[in-house]
Copies of this chain bind each other. A is one copy, B any other.
Amino acid sequence: MSGRLFVIGLGPAGDAMMTPEAKHALAQASELLGYAPYLARIPENPGQNRHPSDNRVERGRAEQALALAAAGRDVALVSGGDAGVFGMAATVFEAIEAGDRALRGLDVTVIPGITAMLAASARLGAPLGHDFCAISLSDNLKPWALVEKRLRAAAEADFVIALYNPLSRARPWQLGAAFAILGATLPPTTPVAFARAIGRADETVALFSLASADPGLADMATLVLIGARASRLITRPEGRPWFYTPRSAS
């Protein structure tokens, strides 16, 4: 099989956080696939065909990308953030594993990107300053009981916690339930940040305590960061406090 598939993380926003490697891979592709708002970030190129798709059709999008590559095309399949972190990369390998064995001969290259957790952390200070975990609150593909188990384990072992996909119209209660679970272990004063659309024109950042965080203020574009026991705020003469986690822990 002669085609190539690049699975590319565009970063959280615009050009400033997109790597040269990602840009170079995009330039080599004749076919661009991805969720429509991510594709819209890429400048038009008359030599490239665009195949935008809806948010809920990851598997079909991966299969379409593989079919185009199998037909000899150079294909770029894009994700926001990093394709390997709750992005398209795992979906591609699921489709390869379930598909025709010939797909295993394809040239597949995954290009890393700045994932939302890193962009949010940078904007806030250094909340990920020590051991941390990333959990998707979506229970579309795993039972909610497993999410609960992971939240409890993370709080008990004192990880900083990054929550992806905190809630959506179809999943309105999960973030509140997560805060309730964490509140059973973590102090009510634990710092919590909502970082939305970092790097975009509509970027917003808000700081709360675990007791005061309002799930209703989050949406699918929000990354929620919950501190560990040592995490704290540094107040400043002007502007939002810095949220950071010291390197040392006891």
Contacts and interface: CB of A to CB of B under 8 A. Distances in A.
Interface of A: 9, 11, 15-21, 24, 82-86, 89-94, 96-97, 104-105, 108, 110-115, 118-119, 121-123, 125-136, 141-143, 146, 149-150, 152-154, 156-159, 232, 234-238, 242, 244-250
Q: How many copies does the complex hold?
A: 2
Nearest to A88: B126
Contacts of A157: 149-150, 152-154
B21 A19 contact: no
Given A11-B19, A93-B234, 6 more contacts: A9-B118, A17-B20, A89-B126, A93-B244, A112-B119, A114-B114
A122 B142 CA distance: 23
A159 B133 contact: yes
B11 A16 contact: no
A129 B90 contact: yes
A86 B134 CA distance: 16
The 5 A-B pairs at the shortest CB distance, nearest first, are namely A90-B129, A153-B157, A133-B133, A89-B126, A93-B244
22 contacts: A16-B19, A16-B21, A17-B20, A82-B121, A83-B126, A84-B121, A85-B128, A89-B125, A89-B126, A90-B129, A90-B246, A104-B234, A104-B235, A104-B237, A131-B134, A131-B135, A141-B248, A142-B250, A143-B250, A146-B158, A153-B154, A153-B157
B132 A110 contact: no
A90 to B, nearest CB: 3
Contacts of A114: 19, 112-114
Could you say which of A15, A110, A123 has the most chain B C-beta atoms within 10 Å of its C-beta? A110
B128 A150 contact: no
A126 B110 CA distance: 8
Nearest to A147: B131
B93 A242 contact: yes
Given A149-B157, A157-B153, A244 B90 contact: yes
Contact of A236 (B92, B105, B115): B105
